[in-house]
Chains A and B, each alone.
Chain A
Amino acid sequence: MTEKEKPQWKEARIKPFKGFVDQLRQLRDVISTERDRLEKELQEKNDKEDPNG
């Protein structure tokens, strides 16, 4: 083993479950988008049924 290949300690701030959190956040955003879309649809339906609001 050459000098360069020796394992190195390093200082770091670990981010446990970073990938998982990223995935979960994506899921949340998709559902959130769907919720917003549904909200808009509901608003439109309400406006149609009661145009005078």
Chain B
Amino acid sequence: MAEWKTFDLSEFMPEQVSGSVDKLQGLTDIIITAGNVANTVLEVLRVFMTSFPNPAAALVQTLLGELQTIIDNLQETGAFGLFMIPTSLDDLETYRGGYPKFRQIFLQSLNDVEDPNRPQVGADGALGAFFLLFTSPSAGGVIQQSLTLKNIFAGARNDVDLKYPAPVNLTIEAADEEGRVPGSMLNLFAEGDDLTTLILSWEEPKYKQSIFYDIFAQNNFYIERSKSREGVLLTREKTRATLTNPLQSGDDDAAGEDAEVIKEPVLNRLGEPIYTWEPLNPDDPFFDLENDDLQENYLAGTYSYTIRGLDKGIENGYYYRIRSVPKDTKLRPLQRDPSDPDEKPIYLLELNEETYLDSQPSGAVFGHLPDIDTSFDLPTALLNIYRAAYMLRFDVDTYDDEANLQLGSSSIEPVLPLYLEDDAKFESLYGEIQLLELQFLNEDVVNTLYFEGPLFDSEEDVTDYESARRFVSTAGTITSSTTLENDPFGGTRELFNDMFNLTEQQRFRIWVDKAAMSKIESLVPVLVQNDSMLEIVREFYESAQTDIMDTILDEDSTDRMVSDSVRTAIHLLIQVIDRHDTQGTPPNWRAMRLFADLIPEADQIMDRLFGLVNSLGSVFSDPTSSLDGTIEGLQNRLAVLDELVDFLDETLSFFVRLQNVPLASILFIPPASGGVPYLTRELLQAENPPSSGPGEFFTGVVLAVGGAGPQDYMSTVQAIKFIFGV
């Protein structure tokens, strides 16, 4: 619920005004605090003006006097303020309901006995109010209006923590020219798609009752990127004087060289280091729903954008992030060192010619176009390696009586399904190769079986990855599910055997291929991102291809099982590829949220102010040289006046920017006797209220003024009219 506040009207004003005649005073206070300057700029200005040798001085004095009077009056006037501004995104729902809801909240606040700051003016006193109200059918619109109010009223600044929300669940995927994501890198080898674009996808966060407000649809999007996850730290060079050791002699010729040039981070106005990101497209940085490359799903609140014109290779990858910004936001390049034409500019978001900070960036994701050579059929090569490995029972570790590893690589999972044990085609490995000593490990000699005979009857029959995948998925469909298939009581296996009459060889192939594919699906994306790894796998595969095919095709199982060269070659490959099976898929596609943004402006204004104050100071430190009519004196004064005009221009432009307020609904109820009941009645009777439906949002400010009689409120009424320009 909105609460009433009491304050003098100067609190309403932007800090730049409330300090003094203009921001000269306010900012000078900071300098004074720093202990650098004893006089305020305003005072210096006054002294300077008295030295004008012509009638202009008198005029300036008059104007300064008038400005001072306005400020003084504002500081003396008081009002009851009610900021009816959503303070956060969660608060938006409170301010939904159009004009009736506005009236309801206002009247509730006016009569809220628990609010000690409400205007408690009885029927004998006078009370009036100024209402400033914005309505909008969209949440995006009301956020913009609220930010405008927050910008104008210093009094609302601390309470209103309202920003455009950051897009969430940002992901990035490589895609083809039409924006189609291959789904799996495996498809690249099957279909030969050329990946030339990146698809950036994000969502609008959801609020009350898991609904989203469609805020992004009102705005533009802005994508920025950086080579670093945090952005690039903005620094400046600063000369730091080194203190001289008093014990050392004073005849140090290089005293002046003690000064040390250091780099220090530039801080924004919140005292945080600034990290810069570059716009994705500096020439056309913003886009909206009309953009051909943007896809949206209104129902789900999800969006995706196709990024084009990228170079391939991980070295050309970037971290990307995105913001939702108001339509009027602009991008301003800033050349920090104008003398260096090669310097890359930094970019500032601006709204109403002021640095814009009210749109949160999303988290960052790393994206690049993989540079993949699909001429080497990696998935099929991996499949054959796994086929050979399963034929050699690498999935089971077997030791001799000396505890030396004889079979298996400890790397392939899962183990064979138990039902294969009963099949006559599976023979006791140990019996065949005379390793009966192994019984001591497990007294059952037939606990490790191997498949007798070839996996495929001829080299022409050996299926490639795509064919195998189709075969496995068809079989998977028939058997419904892995769980069911492995359930001996499910009956699926019997159906499988009887209905389709698959041979043991075919059944075993399906099982091996299925187990291998789940590994290959996670392996391929890793391998294709690592050129050297890919090359190693390729070389190993090509050199071991004969052994691999022998293992798959050899009729003589015993020879195959005991051949050291075959085992070694395949073992080596499995070690190489399997090691990369458990590390996930780097790089991580999610990152921490960052808050840092670009605000070097505040810094520059401070620098300029120092310059101005110093120049004023030097002019007055030696009156004989500066105020006389010599050329040097005139030049000094001219320089000071130039600075003053520039500074006033800057101050003016600040205020002109404040005047960029959207069309509002305003109502002024002049104070009159009757107190709170009078004000209530007047509001209820007010005509031509803003036409807004029950689903509309609103944001606004109410200033109530009153007292015992006109002497109590007339100056405040004047001040309100002055502030709002009405």
A46 to B666, CA, bound (A): 58
Contact A14 B645, beta carbon cutoff 8 Å? no
Contact A19 B725, beta carbon cutoff 8 Å? yes
Contact A42 B638, beta carbon cutoff 8 Å? yes
Chain B contacts of A49 at CB under 8 A? Answer: 631
Size bracket, chain B contacts: 35 or more
Count of chain A residues with Cβ under 8 Å from any Cβ of B? 37
Shortest CB-to-CB span from B718 to chain A, Å, is: 10
Within 8 Å of chain A (Cβ to Cβ): is B365?
no
Chain A, Cβ-Cβ closest to B151: A16
Mark each residue of chain B from 648 to 677: 1 if its CB lies under 8 Å from any CB of chain A, else 0.
Answer: 110110011011011111111100000000
Interface residues of A in 2-24 (CB under 8 A from B): 6-21, 23-24
Shortest CB-to-CB span from A27 to chain B, Å, is: 5
Chain A contacts of B683 at CB under 8 A? Answer: 7
A35 to B648, CA, bound (A): 13
Chain B contacts of A1 at CB under 8 A? Answer: 685
A9-B689, A28-B649, A31-B644 in contact; A20/B67 too (CB < 8 A)? Answer: yes
Chain A contacts of B63 at CB under 8 A? Answer: 23, 26-27, 30
Contact B689 A32, beta carbon cutoff 8 Å? no
Chain B contacts of A12 at CB under 8 A? Answer: 663-666, 726
Chain A contacts of B666 at CB under 8 A? Answer: 9-12, 14
Chain A, Cβ-Cβ closest to B721: A19
Chain B contacts of A26 at CB under 8 A? Answer: 63
Chain B, Cβ-Cβ closest to A28: B648
A10-B688, A45-B631, A46-B631 in contact; A34/B725 too (CB < 8 A)? Answer: no
A21-B652, A24-B651 in contact; A6/B723 too (CB < 8 A)? Answer: no
Stretch at the interface among B53-61, B220-228, B393-401, B451-459: B53-61
Contact B724 A14, beta carbon cutoff 8 Å? yes
Shortest CB-to-CB span from B716 to chain A, Å, is: 15
Contact A34 B641, beta carbon cutoff 8 Å? yes
A6-B687, A7-B669, A45-B631 in contact; A21/B659 too (CB < 8 A)? Answer: yes
Chain B contacts of A17 at CB under 8 A? Answer: 13, 17, 655, 658-659, 722-723, 725
A10-B665, A11-B665, A27-B63 in contact; A16/B651 too (CB < 8 A)? Answer: no
A12-B666, A14-B726, A25-B652 in contact; A38/B641 too (CB < 8 A)? Answer: yes
**In-complex Cβ contact of B642 among A9, A13, A25, A35 (8 A):** A35
Chain A, Cβ-Cβ closest to B56: A34
Shortest CB-to-CB span from A18 to chain B, Å, is: 3
Contact B638 A27, beta carbon cutoff 8 Å? no
Contact B682 A7, beta carbon cutoff 8 Å? yes
Interface residues of B in 479-522 (CB under 8 A from A): none
Contact A16 B723, beta carbon cutoff 8 Å? yes
A13 to B686, CA, bound (A): 19
Within 8 Å of chain A (Cβ to Cβ): is B132?
yes
User: What is the interface of chain B, defined by CB distance below 8 A to chain A?
Assistant: 13, 17, 22, 52, 54, 56, 59-60, 63-64, 66-67, 70, 131-133, 152, 629, 631, 634-635, 637-638, 641-642, 644-645, 648-649, 651-652, 655-656, 658-659, 661-669, 682-683, 685-690, 722-726
Known: A18-B659, A35-B638, A42-B634. 7 other contacts (CB 8 A): A14-B725, A15-B659, A16-B724, A17-B13, A17-B17, A27-B67, A37-B54
Complex A-B, nearest 8 residue pairs according to Cβ-Cβ distance, in ascending order: A15-B725, A18-B725, A35-B641, A28-B648, A42-B634, A7-B686, A21-B655, A27-B63
